[in-house]
Structure 1
């Protein structure tokens, strides 16, 4: 099962009546049979298992199983690259975490284990069915009195609280996905909705009258990049009449402050773009303290875009090499980050300062020569196009110090 290291992300944790199916000492227990969660969020598929005898040699999850062939490990599927974390073990826990969910991840997930005994294979059915949905605002009603519905393709698990935004300003919260209102003379208004705890996964804005309304659309909801690099955070916006001001700000400030006037960003911030954009914030020489949510606001002669509308969350990370034991005589090196780097980068490994042709993945397994508890060779990692931002080298330290 492919592993990765990730920062903290809001996830869906589901508890319900367990489903157990097994025979002759074999069983897989799924905590829930059905989960509906948001596109872009994280989900934990909790499960546990038992087996009659022997030693577990292989564990993995799969979604499809053809007749007469072994099911394929999702950890080897490029569609899930960098998004799977197996939190289970080879004893009884088989929990799987999937991050950055996509609608095409909707499927029934099953767990399979293999042991060192003859015929020692088992797959747990019926599995856990995952449905992934986005949010859409639907309008019904007459010309004046309307009902807004925060619509999904499945019923979200855990009875969430819905949040409503009007023109970028926090408007209301309710456990109902519906919001009723009367249209005033402000026909340029837009509305969007989100789920509490997942505000960055809000719906697209919907105009109350036709297609003419104020709105801001972020190009990306989350970005993870390397310390020392440069990032572009973009949005498009629509504002009628003359735009009198527009700027980016950090959401953790008590009052919105134009980043170009913030001393902490002096000489590192640049705005590019025009009306209807994309309007881009560029930050250079990134620091870990730059990790924050960045929002965009604008003003016209008679309108201010609200300051509470979710923006883009930026996470800034360094690189570290983590060493764990693999098979006897080998070690596995992992180029770890505190968040999952955007755009699935190509990893580059160095041995004694010389670039290795292979591998280009986040992990590197090799026979590492160890003398008196110390590595004779040094290893470091980086990612393509950022070769100057490599990790510290693992060299002449007790390897157990790095073990997890």
Structure 2
């Protein structure tokens, strides 16, 4: 059978046929990218709910809806499959897609354990297909700005990193429903496991290696639904150390990264985007605190107007996901290195594994 090739009118490169498995919350971001992309053609959406698959097709203009992903692989023959299902079935689905000749973009965590990740990666190599985990926050503008401050030496030698997330996950929403528990409750790290990949890969951006970890996991709210609702961990690498913090009890919600060096420090928040930098200023040591207050005050004022506009336009913190996907599809089309490497995924998975390991618990 002749393979259908959809051409990009602007550069005459063939569009990659894309398919999506899973229509949960994050699927809106993946599908909105695919429906507007000049590099992808959305050939199918699959979900165990026919109604959910049909709705996604109607809203985002896919060619067909499926309830069986094997059927989708056979009939639509996608070049790329986005796997957006619960983590426990990522490995099986990914292997099936790789076997069918598709590259795989998989939501985090790519697998529940490091051993499963290595098995999946080795399988992808045997299939000569690409495998990439969604590490979207690496590509948010505040994180890119923070990286630049580190790379150009503005902060000096980095000694301390903190990645902190506060989310009220126990008071309502998809994680708090005892009648229909989320599958992520069964992950080794419980609900926090669904977020910890983000915390780990951001920490590793600024502390590329680690020697050992100590992690305090707690269930302060009690009950049988939540395995853990609080994490406080320290990660050590030579003279550097990183703190990873997840709390279900502190407010307001935040997702912050702070990097401290020998010259100064900088912090960002991805939920209410801003970048604050405290460093020596040209006015001298005595007046640098005042100069920092003035500069950061102006930064916060601008951020407040920008964030108000983001709220009105209903923009989400997933801006980095669209950038990641654009770079990924471009790399696949042009046969160039992907924006997330094996080393990125390997280090992240190893760190998650170390945090979860019982021998490292406080």
Q: Which has the higher helix share?
A: 2
If each structure's strand is expressed as a fraction of its own residues, which one has the higher value? 1
Bigger CA radius of gyration: 1
Structure scoring higher RCO (CA < 8 A, sep ≥ 6) equals 2
What is the TM-score when the length of structure 2 is the normalising length?
A: 0.28
Q: What TM-score does the superposition give when structure 1 sets the normalisation length?
A: 0.26
